[in-house]
Structure 1
Amino acid sequence: MPFFEDFTIWKYLASIVDILLVSWVIYKLLNLIKGTKAVQLLKGIVVILLIRVVSEFFGLNTLSWLTQQAIDWGFLAIIIIFQPELRRALEQLGRGRFFSRTNGPDDEEQEKMVEAIVKATDYMAKRRIGALISIERETGMSDYIETGIPLDAKISSELLINIFIPNTPLHDGAVIIQKNNVAAAACYLPLSESPFISKELGTRHRAALGISEVTDSITVVVSEETGNISLTKNGELHRNLTLDAFKELISHDLLITNTKVKPASSARWNWRGKNNG
């Protein structure tokens, strides 16, 4: 009899461990796709499941049948749709990164990053060196990082300046900063497809607006024609910024402890406008 009691206890313990492991794997998978396009697709799947439950409850037979067909073929669709994320997960599993802890950047690192970006931007603006720097926030940018040349280097103003020096191998394209490191250079960003964008805006500004429309990143643009500094976020373009206004804007959005800083009241232009910059 004690043997069976011990067996029951071990069975309960095994069930608890099983639940914890599955929860941990799901948590890691959610972190992996966090902020990518896969999140939106995942929300769509949840909506389909909810429609299926509601239609079954209210006896909506046709709608129930349609959603059931979507669920039946959903596994194959998930493999096709989530192919990039699944490939990245397997790659990380092979490198052991799937099991690593993902700690966010601390305040001191954030301040150093802001200081390096401001210093590099000031230097390039004065010399009219074109630049495009995108900073990852909550929305993952791994898809865009893979289009460039991987660096995984500590951020510094000197590194950013050297990357954008004209006629160097990495100057054409965007630098993407991830977790306070320069993840990659010469990256391709999606151009905004809005027909209302001013014709005066060049490729860098269109790319900065495009990435701000699909992610929550902050993107810095230095015009090689005028030396003007611009910043995009949430589909908005802030143009013709002074150095102080630029520093105030980027500090407000990036510094964790800087909660008392108010957004800059300088030139915020709608991207449909026709202002020079």
Structure 2
Amino acid sequence: MTFFWIWNFIKPAAEIFILWIGFYHILVFFEGTRAFQVLKGLSFLLLAFLGAQIVGLDVLSWLLTKFFAISIIAILIIFQQELRHGLARLGQQHLFNVTLEEAEIVAIIEEIASAVYKLSRQQVGCLIAVERETKLKNYIESGLNVDAQISSELIQSIFVPPSPLHDGGIITRGNRIVAASCLFPLSDNPNFAKIIGTRHRAAIGITEHTDALVVMVSEQSGEISVAADGRFIPVVNRERFVTILRDLLVGEGKKKR
């Protein structure tokens, strides 16, 4: 009798905990996709529904229940591509994030610096997105799988014409180039529309949607740029370039550890 009394007392809390854990893992699973922002909104809707249930707001609970059901159906229709790809990858998910030691990150930065400065001298355009916390699943799937160790030589071979992969950008994760010829979203910021080209807008665009760090070389001028958080960071020389990447990426690596 005591057991059932205790269970009835803790049952609502247990249900809320299980629902929240499940929804959290769904959010993590779809991080970096178009559906992610919608799912975040639904998580707040779920919290509102649970709060209404707890305090006994029956009419509000009923309305939220109907709205939640309609939203789920809409998601299944609108984001069917993301759901299909997500389910296909379900058995391939790693249970840990890629973490690198500081020395490894510095070595990667040197490889990238070597490549972009050689490409700059040749006025060969390039676009490199470095994945950080936000997963770049959608953008990776827009290109071709590479899965190779980051090296200056490989980066140059990808971008120097007539390489079939020179259009679009490459995406790195940890110490590997995971995809090439990827399509990045163009920035719709009106401040950039008339003063920069397509490659610049792509560099800014992906940093507006994610926390990726982007390195870009202009095909017209050979100018090297770094983009993060929807803005360009001035690069005056190679030393400054390495410092920018080191500040952003070494700090990120320490945070993950």
On whether the aligned pair clears a TM of 0.5, the verdict is yes
128-137 or 22-31, which deviates more:
22-31
8 A contact 2:30–2:86 mirrored in 1: no
CA distance 1:102–1:82, change in 2 (3 Å): farther
Closer/same/farther in 2, CA of residues 258 and 27 from structure 1, 3 Å limit: closer
- 1:73 Cα deviation from its structure 2 partner: 2.5
Instruction: Work out the CA distance in 1 between the residues paired with 2:232 and 2:79.
Output: 32
Q: Give a deviation string over 1:100-137, Cα, whole Å, max 9, x none.
A: 43342221432222111111111111221111111111
* Pairing 1:169–2:170 present: no
Q: 2:133 aligns with which of 118, 134, 138?
A: 138
Q: Which residue of 2 aligns with 1:238?
A: 233
Separation in structure 2 between the aligned mates of residue 73 and residue 199 of structure 1, nearest angstrom: 41
**Paired residues of 2:27 and 2:40 also in contact (CA < 8 A):** no
Note if 1:194 corresponds to 2:167: no
Question: How big is each residue's C-alpha offset from its partner over 1:28-59, in whole Å with a ceiling of 9 and x where there is no partner?
Answer: 64542234333322221122223335556485
Distance 1:29 1:110 in 2: 30
State the partner residue of 2:122: 127
Whole-angstrom CA distance in 2 between matches of 1:113 and 1:23: 38
Residues 252 and 258 in structure 1, CA contact (< 8 A), matched pair in contact too: no
Q: Which amino acid aligns with 1:34?
A: E
Name the counterpart of 1:181: 176
Shift of 1:233: 0.4
In structure 2, the CA distance between the partners of 1:97 and 1:25, relative to structure 1 (3 Å rule), is farther
- Map of 2:113 onto structure 1: 118
The answer as to whether partners of 2:112 and 2:152 remain within 8 angstroms in 1 is yes
TM-score when normalising by structure 1? 0.74
Between Structure 1 and Structure 2, whose CA radius of gyration is higher? 1
Matched, 1:77 2:77: no
Counterpart in the other structure of 2:4? none
Q: Once superposed, what is the RMSD of the aligned Cα atoms?
A: 2.9
- Mapped to 2, the partners of 1:173 and 1:87 lie a distance apart of 25
- The 1:135/1:146 distance shift into structure 2, 3 A limit, reads same
Would you say the 8 A contact 1:113–1:156 is kept in 2?
A: yes
Worse overlay, 227-236 or 40-49: 40-49
Distance 1:257 1:83 in 2: 33
Q: How many residues align?
A: 235
For 2:12, the equivalent position in structure 1 comes to none
Alignment gaps of 5+ in structure 2 = 1-17
- How far residue 198 of structure 1 moved from its aligned partner, in angstroms, is 5.5
| CA distance, structure 1, for counterparts of residue 88 and residue 228 of structure 2 | 31
Which residue does 2:40 correspond to in 1?
43
TM-score by length of 2: 0.80
Identity fraction in percent: 38
The runs of 5 or more residues in structure 1 that have no matched partner are 1-20, 260-277
Cα deviation, 1:3-49, whole Å, max 9, x if unaligned, reads: xxxxxxxxxxxxxxxxxx99998776454223433332222112222
